[in-house]
A = this chain, B = another copy of it.
Amino acid sequence: MSSYKDNKVITIGVVSELTGLSERQIRYYEERKLIFPIRSNGKTRKYSFNDVERLVDIANKIEDGIGTFEILKTEKKEKSKEETRNRMLRGQINAAFKIRK
């Protein structure tokens, strides 16, 4: 389930190099609830490779004029859609099993 991609081990300086974003931008996206680094010892932020990719994505959207709130809202919708899809799928699977029994 968890892999290297999900392992939050990268400091903000390296994330900045990797993404080309400023530390200010990276911290701001966190403030807007778009990214969630862990804090080692309650202080220093640590990001995963997934976070790095996500940050680039976010930055691209902002460059396209999409606000942080808009990004957050859209993602919530996507997630909700996906959950509905999964729920329906599970329903069909269950129904199929009942028939076989």
> Count of chain A residues with Cβ under 8 Å from any Cβ of B?
14
Residues of B within 8 A of A13 (CB): 40
* Stoichiometry (number of copies): 2
User: Do B46 and A7 have beta carbons less than 8 Å apart?
Assistant: no
Q: Is A5 an interface residue (CB 8 A)?
A: yes
> Cα distance A46–B14 when bound, in Å?
9
Digit string of A1-36 for contact with B (CB within 8 Å is 1, else 0)?
001110101110110011000000000000000000
Q: Footprint of B on A, CB under 8 Å?
A: 3-5, 7, 9-11, 13-14, 17-18, 40, 46, 49
A-B contact pairs, 15 of them (CB 8 A): A4-B4, A4-B5, A4-B49, A7-B49, A9-B9, A9-B10, A9-B14, A9-B18, A10-B10, A11-B11, A11-B14, A13-B40, A14-B40, A14-B46, A17-B40
